[in-house]
Each structure stands twice: as C-alpha cells, then as structure tokens.
Amino acid sequence: MELPPLLRQAVDRALSGTALADLAASAAALSQRYRDERRDGRLHVANEQDALAYLAVRLPATYAAVRASFAALAQARPNFAPKTALDIGAGPGTALWAAADCWPALEDALLVEASPIFRACGERLAAEAQQSDLVPRMTWRTADVGVDAIDCAPCDLVILAYALNELDAKVRQSVLTRLWRATADTLVIVEPGTPAGWQRILAARRQLIAAGAHVIAPCPHADECPLVPPDWCHFAARVARSRLHRQAKGAEVPWEDEKFSYVAVSRVSALGLGARVIARPRKASGRVTLKLCRPDGSAGDQLFSRRDGAPFKRAWRSDWGASL
C-alpha cells in the first residue's frame, strides 16, 4: 500500500534536510521502545527528531494497517458514510488521512494527542491539504485521555490506532467506556499484530460487546474468539518503503509487511457477515486451503479444490484478511 500522494508529499517535505544518520538513530531507538512496549512515564515521541523518525518509518506502516481495517469495515457496512470523526492518540494524524481516503465525505474531525510536538507535526502535515479542502476540517486538542475528559458530541467514527498499548493498563477500561460513549456509530481499534496486541483487542472486544456493541470486523460473530494461544488473530498490510524509509532502517527490500490486529464495533449491526480469512492462503495446483473464522463462531482450515467451481475461484482470489 502506498501513502496518498498529498500525504507522501507532506511527509517528504517534513523530512527534507534531515540528516540521515540522526534519522536512523532516532528510528532505531523509537522502534526499540515500540518493540519493548516500554511504559516508563514518558511518551515515545518526546522531541522533534522522534516525530520525524516516526514519519519516516512508522507512519507508512500504521497508515497501511488502519486503512486496511477501514476497508474491511467499509466492505461489511457499505452504507456507512461518517461525517464526523474522533481520533484518540492521533500522533501525526495518520488515521485521519486513512479515514479521509476511505470516506471522502468525512467533514469534521477532532484529533486528541498527548504530545504537543506530535500534534504540531500533524498540523503541519495537513496544513496544505486543508487549504484546498482535500481532508476534513481538523481540530486538534492536546490532552491525556487517561485523565482528561473527552467532551465532544458523539462522532460517527471513533478511532484508537496504535494507542491502546501506550495507555496505562489501569485506565484502558475507563478510556474505552468513554470512547464508546463518544461513538455515535462505529469505533475502530487497531493494535500491533503481536500476541499482546491481540490480547488487548480481545479485552476491548469483550468489554464493548458487554456494553451492547455489535462486532463488524474482522470477526463475523460476537462469540468468544475461537483462537487459542499460542495462535492469535492478526493480519498483514504490505507497505511500500520510500528510499529514505529504507535508508533510515538500513533495509534493502522496497516493502515491509506490517502485522496488525483490530476490531470494529458499531451501534448498528451488519447483516450477513461472511467468513474471514485469518492467515495467508496456502495454494497448490488446483487447491487452496484457507484458515477461516466463521459466522458460527468456529475457526479452522477449509480446503477448496477446482471441482468446487465458483467457491474455489473465490477462495483462490481471496487474500489474508478478506471476507468470503
């Protein structure tokens, strides 16, 4: 997945003139903090250099994961057309760019971010696109969602992308309760596609179902998740790496696979959800095996062979994350 051209240009502009060695050092330190899920009382993005490193090496990946989650939601609810959005832990506004790409009629967004440096970076990224009305009207607020009230009218779309893991475990439930209250229609939570990220998604899913939410994606049911550790539910989005992205990471390959877990829940149910492909399809001549999460709440492998006709063709064309 590529970034939309306007976002790509804004990121390139922000990064121009940055010394590669500094960027690579900050990117390595930032990635290590994310890998360790370090919670030491300081925000991961603490200074301008961290913010630039995030733009270079993390924003393309979180954009791809969030955009793929939105695509699954849009497929399950084709009539969903949000006008208002609330993005919590917005960082540089990544998820809002993905939302604007998925739902161009989006009009107004409130972005809440704890780091003033990240907020300023996000405001600069969107400035030009805002002048030409190419992204929704964005209002930013610097606030700590663990402590500060989210006092806004309920929004059609509420997003918590790659931020649940940065909240203190003690405040997660209360933040989710408040986010659900702030949701007029649909709430999407995206996390890194690690076993720990999946556990946080599972806990959020349980809490929101208990609060009356309907699950829209990725699960085609609201039963307990049928997967058992060490297995976990996650997906992968292929991200195109720019030259600077490759250089900052010391990587050769022009792409990377961002693993992510997510859940989209709504006040409105989606009818007729199909089975979800929850692993990379395994293909052989005339046969494909899909690992499926099914509407009856079960999960497991299903073999499709050429003699199955149309279902085989559909299965052959489907990819990890698709809905059959």
List, in order, residues 6 or more apart from 242 with CB less than 8 Å away.
8, 12, 60
Which of 49, 84, 94, 186 lies at the binding interface for ligand SAM (CB under 6 A)?
94
x-or-dash pattern for ligand SAM, window 148-167, by CB under 6 A? -------------xxx--xx
Which window, 110-118, 225-233, 275-283, 303-311, contacts ligand SAM (CB under 6 A)?
110-118
Question: Shortest CA distance to 158 belongs to which of 131, 171, 177?
Answer: 177
Q: Is 208 in the site for ligand SAM (CB under 6 A)?
A: no
CA gap 146, 49 in Å, rounded? 25
Among 146, 195, 274, 281, binds ligand SAM (CB under 6 A): 146
In angstroms, give the least distance from the CB of 315 to ligand SAM. 32
Q: Does 62 participate in binding ligand SAM (rule CB under 6 A)?
A: yes
Q: Judged by CB under 6 A, which stretch of 109-117, 222-230, 260-268, 286-294 contacts ligand SAM?
A: 109-117
Q: Token digits for 69?
A: 């989650």
Select from 129, 75, 123 the least CA-distant residue to 106: 129
Which one, 144 or 223, has the nearer CB to ligand SAM? 144
Torsion angles phi and psi, residue 18, rounded to 5 = -80, 135
Report the amino acid identity of residue 178.
Answer: R
Q: Does 115 sit near ligand SAM (CB under 6 A)? A: yes
109 touching ligand SAM, by CB under 6 A? no
Q: Does 89 bind ligand SAM (CB under 6 A)?
A: yes
**For ligand SAM, how many residues bind (rule: CB under 6 A)?**
23
Sole residue written with tokens 């809490």: 207
Question: In angstroms, what CA-CA distances link 308 with 39, 66, 86, 166, 319?
Answer: 51, 34, 45, 46, 18
Options 107-115, 125-133, 274-282, 294-302: segment touching ligand SAM (CB under 6 A): 107-115
275 touching ligand SAM, by CB under 6 A: no
User: Would you report the helix, strand and coil content of the chain in percent, each value rounded to 5?
Assistant: 40, 25, 35
Give me the residues paired with residue 160 across strands: 88, 189
Q: Does 118 help bind ligand SAM (rule: CB under 6 A)?
A: yes
Q: Does 138 bind ligand SAM (CB under 6 A)?
A: no
Beta strand segments in 76-181, E: 84-88, 108-113, 137-142, 155-161
Contact 149, 31 (CB under 8 A): no
CB closer to ligand SAM out of 97 and 304: 97
Q: Distance (Å, rounded) from C-alpha 103 to C-alpha 85?
A: 11
**CB closer to ligand SAM out of 39 and 317:** 39
Q: Which residues bind ligand SAM (CB under 6 A)?
A: 43, 45, 59, 62, 66, 89-91, 94-95, 112-115, 118, 144-146, 161-163, 166-167
